């Protein structure tokens, strides 16, 4: 065996790490060591810089627990969460694309009737979502489940409010024509949490920590692939600079401001102006993945 020098060490380590019986784990470790050594050779860190990195990773781990995941947030801000999502959801070009789930999806949202109001007094400007769920050829999908969640008009999610009961979330079903109506409030942009190790790192950059205005959807229908996605407000000032890279062109939507006196999608005369978002989701045939929902810490 060759003795260790700066030149030989990578090959020595790679050879040692061939002793991994699981072929997938062996592949992952071989690739990780190759890339990590190349990275270290490229940047040539000082020992102080290396220790700074270790301390940052240590803090990131200490700040991660069942209510917060700073490591996933780190993955989000360097685009790895979205890259993993893209790799795992290569859909037909016509199908509604996926994005990361984010940390605020709750599994026990209430089942609500068509047209129900998920805002229930939440701060914000009134908004309606009207649309349909369809297959690739455009045929309506009846009985699709739409699990919807978003921040209120002050940029806060249910979990951040900490109150009792569901806040700004609910589960709807598409009707016989594949259609649905949801009453809510206009989403607003918000910042990722900046009080942890990721925030410390972001403050060394000129990168915006903001997520553009969006609403989250998890849509399931029998015989179709599950879609976890967001719809984004086109006119939001942060639409080009989403800190977690979640914005895909087909998910950028117009929220139209309708004047007072208009008829709302639930058939009432609006006493004040309201926003209207219209969108048709397109699902690809296939089976729903039963694997755990991939997470993101920031969305
Ligand atoms: Fe979000």
pLDDT digits 0-9 by tens, 222-277: 999 999 999 999 999 999 999 999 999 999 999 999 999 999 999 999 999 999 99
66 to 120, 153, 199: CA distances (angstroms): 28, 26, 19
Compute, in angstroms, the gap from residue 191 CA to the centroid of ligand 1. Answer: 10
Give the class (CATH, top level) of 90-283: mainly beta
User: Encoding tokens for residue 137?
Assistant: 């050829």
Compute, in angstroms, the gap from residue 147 CA to the centroid of ligand 1. Answer: 13
Compute, in angstroms, the gap from residue 150 CA to the centroid of ligand 1. Answer: 6
pLDDT for 299: 58
Average pLDDT (126-140) is: 97
Compute, in angstroms, the gap from residue 165 CA to the centroid of ligand 1. Answer: 19
Compute, in angstroms, the gap from residue 102 CA to the centroid of ligand 1. Answer: 6
**What is the Cα–Cα distance from 214 to 252, expressed in whole angstroms?**
9
222 to 93, 95, 109, 129, 282: CA distances (angstroms): 21, 16, 20, 23, 13
Model pTM? 0.91
Of 21-35, 41-55, 83-97, minimum mean pLDDT range: 83-97
pLDDT of 107 higher than 60: yes
pLDDT classification of 291: cutoffs 50, 70, 90 = very low
Q: How many CB atoms lie within 10 A of CB 57?
A: 13
pLDDT for 150: 96
Compute, in angstroms, the gap from residue 214 CA to the centroid of ligand 1. Answer: 6
> Per residue in 34-60, pLDDT tens?
999 999 999 999 999 999 999 999 999
Compute, in angstroms, the gap from residue 98 CA to the centroid of ligand 1. Answer: 14
pLDDT of 293 higher than 60: no
**What is the Cα–Cα distance from 131 to 28, expressed in whole angstroms?**
42
pLDDT classification of 92: cutoffs 50, 70, 90 = confident
Compute, in angstroms, the gap from residue 89 CA to the centroid of ligand 1. Answer: 19
pLDDT classification of 297: cutoffs 50, 70, 90 = low
pLDDT classification of 67: cutoffs 50, 70, 90 = confident
Length of the chain: 299
Compute, in angstroms, the gap from residue 296 CA to the centroid of ligand 1. Answer: 10
pLDDT for 132: 98
Give the residue range(s) of CATH 2.60.130.10 domains in the chain: 90-283
**What is the Cα–Cα distance from 31 to 64, expressed in whole angstroms?**
26
Which positions ≥6 away from 192 have C-beta within 8 Å? 73, 76, 77, 198, 199, 202, 209, 210, 211, 243, 244, 297, 298
pLDDT for 298: 57
Bridge pairing between strands 190-191 and 210-211:
antiparallel
pLDDT for 292: 44
Compute, in angstroms, the gap from residue 183 CA to the centroid of ligand 1. Answer: 18
pLDDT for 290: 45
pLDDT for 161: 83
Average pLDDT (197-225) is: 97
Mean pLDDT of the chain: 94
**In angstroms, how far is CA 236 from the centroid of its own chain?**
17
More confident residue, 105 or 140: 140
Percent share of the chain, pLDDT over 70: 96
Compute, in angstroms, the gap from residue 285 CA to the centroid of ligand 1. Answer: 27
Compute, in angstroms, the gap from residue 190 CA to the centroid of ligand 1. Answer: 8
Compute, in angstroms, the gap from residue 219 CA to the centroid of ligand 1. Answer: 16
Compute, in angstroms, the gap from residue 210 CA to the centroid of ligand 1. Answer: 11
pLDDT for 289: 54
> Per residue in 155-197, pLDDT tens?
999 888 877 788 899 999 999 999 999 999 999 999 999 999 9
Compute, in angstroms, the gap from residue 215 CA to the centroid of ligand 1. Answer: 7
């Amino acid at each position: 065996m060759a003795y260790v020098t700066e030149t030989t060490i990578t090959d020595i380590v790679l050879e040692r790490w061939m002793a991994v019986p699981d072929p997938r784990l062996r592949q992952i470790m071989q690739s990780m060591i190759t890339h990590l050594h190349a990275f270290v050779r490229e940047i040539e860190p000082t020992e102080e810089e290396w220790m700074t990195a270790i301390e940052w990773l240590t803090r990131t781990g200490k700040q991660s627990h069942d209510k917060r995941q700073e490591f996933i947030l780190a993955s989000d801000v360097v685009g790895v969460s979205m890259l993993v999502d893209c790799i795992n959801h290569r859909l037909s070009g016509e199908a509604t694309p996926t994005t990361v789930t984010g940390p605020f999806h709750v599994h026990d949202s209430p089942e609500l009737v068509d047209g129900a109001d998920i805002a229930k007094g939440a701060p914000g400007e009134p908004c309606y979502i009207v649309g349909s769920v369809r297959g690739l050829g455009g045929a309506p999908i009846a009985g699709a489940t739409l699990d919807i969640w978003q921040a209120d008009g002050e940029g806060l999610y249910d979990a951040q409010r900490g109150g009792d009961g569901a806040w700004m979330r609910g589960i709807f079903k598409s009707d016989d024509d594949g259609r649905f109506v949801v009453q809510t409030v206009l989403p607003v942009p918000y910042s990722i949490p900046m009080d942890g190790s990721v925030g410390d790192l972001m403050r060394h950059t000129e990168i915006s920590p903001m997520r553009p205005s969006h609403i989250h959807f998890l849509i399931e229908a029998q015989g179709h692939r599950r879609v976890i996605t967001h719809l984004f407000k086109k006119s939001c000032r942060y639409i080009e600079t989403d800190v977690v890279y979640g914005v895909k062109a087909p998910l950028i939507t117009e929220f139209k401001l309708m004047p007072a006196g208009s008829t709302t999608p639930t058939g009432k005369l609006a006493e004040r102006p309201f926003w209207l978002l219209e969108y048709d989701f397109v699902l690809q045939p296939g089976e729903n993945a039963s694997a755990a929902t991939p997470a993101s810490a920031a969305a």
